[in-house]
A and B are shown apart, each in its own frame.
Chain A
């Protein structure tokens, strides 16, 4: 099948759906939203716990409820949604023409020509291979998200004696979920000296069930032949080396990994989208457009977010920019770079425009206390200053700059006493 549209959006999770609705609200009629799963909503459908939407909808929702609000908007706006359909390639024909190649059981192979493409493929979990855990390779080792899908979507409990490596939010949520379903969660092991997930999840997912959290520990060996039988847990020294003399063994039949997320950018790489080595998402400008004109990126494929609310906000902005691009109205004033100062792990976007407002997302390198976040221009003008009692790498900060001065050559962002 061959077809012409204004915009193709790849991925119908929270980012893709919000971008599609935003494109429509900005007057773009001919939109195609594509997802490889049989239902829209992305990962939200398996996140059955509450805690979503506090910022965006001003009420607390579960994942499926949050998804359904956007699915309703997709339906109401009659946005064309192809499910069970996988994008296998994008071709960059010209500034205003891309061809998206889609495979599906229903339609076979389709070639869709679009003026813009919005990348909204989300992210995937890091696995055992990404973190090199030594030991045998028995069954019973999986990511926390895989376990979440087994329990919440398919109705299988993947194990009864569980150890969780990594204290990211999905791992913590699964500690509670597996406990409620009758499993015995023995421990959560965290490499860093601080938890990876939100404070509230430490309280309601671990403390409520007396599940111990071992900070500055790692799994130094996996034991078992057919099925995992035990893990060896070791404390870490200041160089993150396992202190084997102090290690201990935990018996288990399941090991869940909650050790970080990686934006799923295989399609983006294939077409030549430039990636940031820190975020592993695309390098984008203030309009969330990549280095390839007409290709935009938003949500977890751009940067891994903590909260879906901010994914929706980012995708809405992205959809608005993409609509302007389609109408030939996406103007660009002169761009200046942002320099990363003290304690800044990354800041996105990497460049902002003179004489315009800007929205920055950033994360610190380490946890720290009682610091000011300061943004200044090279000409010495202070654009932003706010005190933070606590900062954590697990908590993304979002900063609005009212207006970037016309005479600045760069701005610097840093934490200071």
Chain B
């Protein structure tokens, strides 16, 4: 089977031509770097995406805490993860990189704070 993909790993956005059978990738063309190969394999067999959204924060100098998944997760789960994060009320102070949810929905990924939020004094 053949498929045309666009790599999303960096802003270059290489156009990939991927050939594959039921089990494995047979060939990838058009990638300018190694990340294209990994992307093609994942996108064909189990597509993954990063999730970036916000969680509510209490007692902070801002109302919303930006967060991200610690690694890309199963694409089909992205809406569920955004919903899960929307239930959270994080408490300031928070440091960039703090784990807000551990192993979110059993994906193996943590939800990490992407901004330092000082306490509102």
Residues of A within 8 A of B (CB): 45, 48-51, 54, 60-65, 68, 151-155, 177, 180-181, 198-200, 202-204, 208, 306-307
B68 touching A204, Cβ below 8 Å: no
Q: How far is the CB of A44 from chain B (nearest CB, A)?
A: 10
- For B1-16 the 0/1 string (1 means CB < 8 A from A) is 0000111111101010
- For B102-115 the 0/1 string (1 means CB < 8 A from A) is 00000000000011
Is B53 interfacial (CB 8 A cutoff)?
yes
CB neighbours (8 Å) of B7 from chain A are 200
Is B31 interfacial (CB 8 A cutoff)?
no
A208 touching B75, Cβ below 8 Å: yes
B10 touching A180, Cβ below 8 Å: no
Is B88 interfacial (CB 8 A cutoff)?
no
Are A51 and B6 CB-contacts (below 8 A) given A65-B114, A68-B96, A180-B79?
A: no
- For B66-96 the 0/1 string (1 means CB < 8 A from A) is 1010000001001100100000000000001
Q: What are some 18 contacts across the A-B interface (CB < 8 A)?
A: A48-B52, A48-B66, A54-B11, A61-B114, A62-B52, A62-B66, A64-B66, A65-B114, A152-B54, A152-B66, A154-B64, A155-B56, A181-B53, A198-B13, A200-B7, A200-B9, A203-B8, A208-B49
B64 touching A153, Cβ below 8 Å: yes
B115 touching A64, Cβ below 8 Å: yes
Is B26 interfacial (CB 8 A cutoff)?
no
B78 touching A180, Cβ below 8 Å: yes
Q: How far is the CB of A313 from chain B (nearest CB, A)?
A: 14
A48 to B85, CA, bound (A): 14
B114 touching A51, Cβ below 8 Å: no
- For B42-69 the 0/1 string (1 means CB < 8 A from A) is 0000000111111010000011101010
A48 touching B53, Cβ below 8 Å: yes
CB neighbours (8 Å) of B52 from chain A are 48-50, 62
A51 to B13, CA, bound (A): 12
CB neighbours (8 Å) of B11 from chain A are 51, 54, 198, 200, 306-307
Q: How far is the CB of A158 from chain B (nearest CB, A)?
A: 15
Q: How far is the CB of B90 from chain A (nearest CB, A)?
A: 13
Pick from A62, A64, A152, A199: contact of B13, CB below 8 A: A199
CB neighbours (8 Å) of B13 from chain A are 198-200, 203
A48 touching B63, Cβ below 8 Å: no
Pick from B6, B53, B64, B66: contact of A202, CB below 8 A: B6
A141 to B9, CA, bound (A): 33
A203 to B43, CA, bound (A): 11
Which partner residue on chain B sits nearest A45 by CB separation? B115
CB neighbours (8 Å) of B53 from chain A are 48, 177, 180-181
Q: How far is the CB of A386 from chain B (nearest CB, A)?
A: 14
Q: How far is the CB of B77 from chain A (nearest CB, A)?
A: 12
Are A155 and B64 CB-contacts (below 8 A) given A62-B114, A199-B13, A208-B75?
A: yes
A204 touching B8, Cβ below 8 Å: yes
Which partner residue on chain A sits nearest B51 by CB separation? A180
A333 to B51, CA, bound (A): 50
Pick from A48, A54, A61: contact of B54, CB below 8 A: A48
A244 to B48, CA, bound (A): 41
Given pairs A50-B68, A63-B66, A68-B115, 9 additional interface contacts (CB within 8 A): A48-B53, A51-B11, A60-B10, A68-B116, A180-B79, A200-B6, A203-B8, A203-B13, A208-B75
CB neighbours (8 Å) of B56 from chain A are 155
A143 to B9, CA, bound (A): 27
A242 to B43, CA, bound (A): 38
Instruction: List 3 A-B pairs, minimum CB-CB distance, nearest first.
Output: A199-B13, A48-B66, A200-B8
Q: How far is the CB of A54 from chain B (nearest CB, A)?
A: 5
CB neighbours (8 Å) of B96 from chain A are 64-65, 68
A42 to B79, CA, bound (A): 29
A204 touching B64, Cβ below 8 Å: no
A45 to B63, CA, bound (A): 13
Q: How far is the CB of B121 from chain A (nearest CB, A)?
A: 15
CB neighbours (8 Å) of A152 from chain B are 54, 64, 66
A199 touching B6, Cβ below 8 Å: yes
Which partner residue on chain B sits nearest A69 by CB separation? B96
CB neighbours (8 Å) of B82 from chain A are 180-181
Q: How far is the CB of A167 from chain B (nearest CB, A)?
A: 14
Q: How far is the CB of A89 from chain B (nearest CB, A)?
A: 30
B54 touching A155, Cβ below 8 Å: yes
Q: How far is the CB of A62 from chain B (nearest CB, A)?
A: 5
Are A204 and B66 CB-contacts (below 8 A) given A48-B114, A155-B56, A198-B13?
A: no
Q: How far is the CB of A397 from chain B (nearest CB, A)?
A: 12
A79 to B4, CA, bound (A): 49
CB neighbours (8 Å) of A61 from chain B are 114
CB neighbours (8 Å) of B49 from chain A are 204, 208
CB neighbours (8 Å) of A63 from chain B are 66
A177 to B79, CA, bound (A): 11
CB neighbours (8 Å) of B63 from chain A are 153-155
